[in-house]
Amino acid sequence: MSELIRPPSNWKIRLSLDAATLTSQLGKQRLLCVKSFLLGDKRVYCAVSVEDGQGNAWDGRITKANLKDDARKEVSSDRAGLF
């Protein structure tokens, strides 16, 4: 069985930015989620981004079934340490 891979540590929350600023701030990071809204008459964005390949092989690509399985294993190992 493979060992669980910890999630990335290099992620950022970006708030109330116009599209050009958000794009320029991403660099090597990619968006995990983005939400746009109007602030007065101006369209702004809030986003969460993450950098892939941080020496832990995490690339953000996982199936729903594998994610559930990994989360279940993580919870089980955390609970084992409590007893």
**pLDDT per position as a tens digit, 7-30:** 666 788 999 999 999 999 988 888
Q: Is the pLDDT of residue 1 over 50?
A: no
For residue 47 the two structure tokens come to 């986003």
Cβ-proximal residues to 56 (8 Å cutoff; 6+ apart), any chain = 5, 6, 8
Predicted local confidence at residue 11, as pLDDT? 81
Decide if 81 contacts 58 (C-beta within 8 A): no
Domain positions in the chain are 11-52+60-80
Rounded Cα–Cα distance for residues 14 and 22 (Å)? 8
- Using pLDDT thresholds of 50, 70 and 90, give the confidence band for residue 2: low
- Mean pLDDT, the chain, integer: 77
Strand order in the sheet with 11-17: 11-17, 42-51, 29-39
